[in-house]
Structure 1
Amino acid sequence: MNPTSPAMVPPRPGNAARSPRNSATVATGFVSGMLSGMLRHGRDPTPLLAAAGIELADSATRVPVDRYARLYNLVIDALADEGFGLFSLPMRPGAFEFLCRSMLGASDLREALWRAQRFLALVLPDLSIAVRSSVRHAELEISENRPLGLAYADPVRVFAFEWLLRLLHGLACWFAGRGLALDAVRFPYPRPAHAADYALVYTEHSSFDGEVLRAQFRANLLDLPLRRDEAALNAFLESGPGKISMLYRRDREAVFRVRDLLRDALPDNLSLEDVAHRLHMSPRTLHRRLEEEGSGFRAIKDAIRRDIALSRLTKTGQPIATLASDLGYADASAFYRACVGWTGLSPERFRRRLQQGNGGDEGSPVRARPPSG
C-alpha cells in the first residue's frame, strides 16, 4: 500500500465543494462514518482530514472521491487496522490484499464470493456473510454475531455495514470487469442523513430498518467469469485498499446501461439514436452523459465487439463469417479490419497463433490492445 504522504500540502479548505461537474463526490456522512471507530478509540482525526484535504465544517459539503480514498488509506495506516477500528478485533494490515488474493483464480463470481466469505469469517468474527441463490434471484446477507455499536443507529454500526457491502460489491465488480447492478438492498438501521447517496453507491432501491442487511441481484451474475489476473491485481493493490471506494459507483450508470443494450441487441447494430430512444432521452443528452462518465458511444460499441470477438476466436472454432455476422458487421471484410486494429493480425492468424502457443514462425506474441470505454 502506497498512500500519499501526509506531509503534502493539502488543498485549500472549501475546494471539495467546487469539484468539477464530472468528478465523483461523496457525502460527508460517509466521512464521519469512516472516522467513527477512530473517535471511539479516542484518536483525533483532524491531522488526517487536513492531510487528505477534507474540510468538515459544513455538513452539506461534497468530498471528491479521490480525497475520500486518500483518507481511507490514511485512517487504516494510523490505526494499523483495515477495519477502521469498527470491530472487536482489528483487521491487520495486509488483510485486504489477502482477501483479494483468496478470490483470484476462482472459476466464477459464485466461487469468488464463497472464498471471500470464508476469508472474512477468519478476520471479521463480528459478522456473518452468506450468499444464497434461486433460479432467477440471488441475495447477499450480512448479519451481526455480536452488537457492533451501542445503539441501532450508532455511526460505528452504520458504517460497518456500509463499508462491508461496498467492499464486497466493489470487489465483485472489479473481478468481473464490469458493473453489477444491485436490484434492492435493505439496511439494518434507520435511514441516515446521507441516504440520498445510496442511489450512487448501491442502488436507488434502498430501504432501511431491517433485521439484517440483504442485497438482492440477478442470479446469473454469479456465473460471470473472473477477468483479472495476478498482474492486474498487483497494479490494483498499489493504490491501497482505498481504491475500492473509487470503483464502479453508479456515476457510470449510463455507460453500463448502454453497454447492456448494445450487447443484448446483437447482431442488430443499434445507433446512438436507437439507444437514446430506448433510454428515454435525447441523443444529445446521452452523448453528454457518456462524456461526463469518461466514455463515448463508439468506444463502448467497439469494446463490446472486441471482447466477444477475441473470446470466441480464443475459445471456439466458429467460422469467421458467422462471427462477423453475430457481431453486427456489414460484411466479413469490416470484421477483418477491426480484428487487425485490435491485435495486429487477421482473425485466422490470431486464432492460429493461439493454437501454436504463441510460437512457430508467426512473429511476436499477440498483444491485444485494451478496450476503451
Structure 2
Amino acid sequence: MLPDQTTPPTSLLHGRTETPIAFIQAIAAAYAQRGLRMDVALSKAQIEPKLLKKNTSRVTAMQMELISGIAMQELDDEGLGWFSRRLPWGSYGMLVRASLTSPTLGVALNRWCRHHGLLTGDIRLSLTERNGIATLQLDEMKDLGVFREFCLVSVLRNALGVACWLTDSRIPLMATHLRFAPPAHCDSYRVLFDGPTTFEASENALQFDAGYLDLPVRRDEAALQQMLQRALLLTVRPYRRDRLLVEKVRQTLAQHPEHSRNADDLAAWLNMSVRTLHRQLQEEGASLQQLKDSVREQRARVLLLRTTKPLKQIATEVGFSNEKSFMRAFKSWTGKAPESFRQSAGTRANAP
C-alpha cells in the first residue's frame, strides 16, 4: 500500500512541523539494520541529516509521508524494519483489498485484524465491542526494540486511516492507550491521535463509538487503485468527514437541550470548534438550524399528542422563549397551528 514517490512533491516544508524526529530516527535504524544509507531519501524529503541528531527536531506531515514511501521502496519493506520478516511491496494494499467487499466496517476491521496475523506474528490485532465502545487492540508478541513506538503508532494509525477511508467518514477517537512511557515528544500525540492519550497503559488500543462499526463500506476497486497512489496520507493526515455527526448532533439536541441553545455550547459538548461543526454538517448536506427544527418539531408533536400541557409550557420545553414564536414555527413545519394539530389528532383517535 504505497504511493508513487518517483516525483517528489513540491513545498515539502509547507505546513507545521509536528511529526517528531524520533520516527525518522526509527527509519534510519531500519536502513542501518540492512547496511544501507538513507542520504538520498533524506535529500528528497528535504530533511537535513543533522536533524536526526537533535531529538527535539520535528518535520512536516508531507516530509513524513515522502520519506516513509521512499524508505518502503528502497528497503522493500512496508514494515520499515519493525518485524522479524519484511512485508514486501503491496502487503498492506492486499489487506485493504481483502476488506473491500465487507458489508460494514465491523466486518472489514475483523478481516483486517485476522489477515494482518498472516503477515506477521510479532504483533496481534483484535477488535472488540462492549457497552457501545469499540476497541481496536494491538498486542506485542515480541520485543520490538528501537522500532517499538514507531511501529505501534504507525500500525494503529494505519488501521484507523483505512477504516476512515473505507467508510468515507472521520472516526473520532474516544481514547488512545499505549503501554510505553510518555516520550519526550509526547505533546505531538495531540496531533497523532485525537481525544485523550494515556501512556503506560495496560494495553495498546484505540477506542471509538461502536456505532461506526455499522457504517457501510463505501469504496470499490476503482477507488482503491486511486487511493494507493497516495496511501500514506491515511496515516499522516486526519480524515475530515464524519458520517455519524448528523446523528450525534440530533441525539444531543434531543437528549441534552441545555447544550443546544447556541452553536458554541453544542460544539464544546461535541469536542470540536464551531467552524468545524458547521463545515462538517455542510459536507453531509445538513445545517444546525435544520437539525434543531427537526428535533423541536418531533418533540412538539409528541407533547401535543401525548400530553395535555398548555402551549406555553410546551414552547418552553421545546426550546422557544415565548408561545408566539413556537406557534409560528410549528405552523411553518406542519402547516397547522399547534391547537389545530392537537384537535385534529384527537378527532382521528376518537373516530369509530
Give the TM-score taking structure 1 as reference length. Answer: 0.66
1:102 aligns with 2:98: yes
Offset from partner CA, 1:212-248 (integer Å, 9 cap, x none): 4122222222222212222221110122x42222342
1:186 aligns with 2:166: no
1:140 aligns with 2:136: yes
**Measured at CA, do residues 147 and 39 of structure 1 come closer, stay the same or move farther in structure 2, by a change above 3 Å?**
same
Q: Which one has the largest radius of gyration? A: 2
Partner of 2:308: none
Partner of 1:304: 284
Which residue identity lines up with residue 265 of structure 2 in the other structure?
Answer: H
Which residue identity lines up with residue 245 of structure 1 in the other structure?
Answer: T
Within a 5 Å distance, the mapping from 1:309-348 to structure 2 comes to none
**Measured at CA, do residues 9 and 108 of structure 1 come closer, stay the same or move farther in structure 2, by a change above 3 Å?**
closer
Offset from partner CA, 1:262-312 (integer Å, 9 cap, x none): 554689xxxx9932232359xxx844xx4xxxxx83x533332379xxxxx
Partner of 2:28: 35
Q: Is the 8 A contact 2:177 2:197 kept in 1?
A: yes
Q: 1:248 aligns with which of 238, 243, 256?
A: 238
Partner of 2:47: 54
**Structure 1: any 5+ residue segments left out of the alignment?**
150-154, 291-295, 308-321, 333-373
Partner of 1:5: 6
**Measured at CA, do residues 181 and 190 of structure 1 come closer, stay the same or move farther in structure 2, by a change above 3 Å?**
same
SS of the residue corresponding to residue 140 of structure 1 reads strand
Which residue identity lines up with residue 93 of structure 1 in the other structure?
Answer: W
**Measured at CA, do residues 43 and 204 of structure 1 come closer, stay the same or move farther in structure 2, by a change above 3 Å?**
farther
Structure 2: distance between partners of 1:51 and 1:5? 10
Partner of 1:336: none
Partner of 1:84: 80
Give the TM-score taking structure 2 as reference length. Answer: 0.69
Q: Which structure carries more helix by proportion?
A: 2
Give RMSD over aligned pairs: 3.8
Within a 5 Å distance, the mapping from 1:1-373 to structure 2 comes to 1-5=2-6, 16=13, 19-20=14-15, 25-55=18-48, 57=51, 58-149=54-145, 155-239=146-230, 241-248=231-238, 262=249, 264=251, 274-280=262-268, 286-287=274-275, 290=276, 297=278, 299-305=279-285
Shift of 1:130: 1.2
Q: Is the 8 A contact 1:182 1:203 kept in 2?
A: yes
Q: Is the 8 A contact 2:17 2:58 kept in 1?
A: no
Structure 1: distance between partners of 2:237 and 2:5? 19
SS of the residue corresponding to residue 4 of structure 1 reads coil
Offset from partner CA, 1:162-219 (integer Å, 9 cap, x none): 1111111111111121121222222121211222121222234212224541222222
Structure 2: distance between partners of 1:286 and 1:301? 11
Which residue identity lines up with residue 79 of structure 2 in the other structure?
Answer: G
**Structure 2: any 5+ residue segments left out of the alignment?**
255-259, 288-293, 299-328, 335-352
Structure 1: distance between partners of 2:180 and 2:250? 38
Identity %: 23
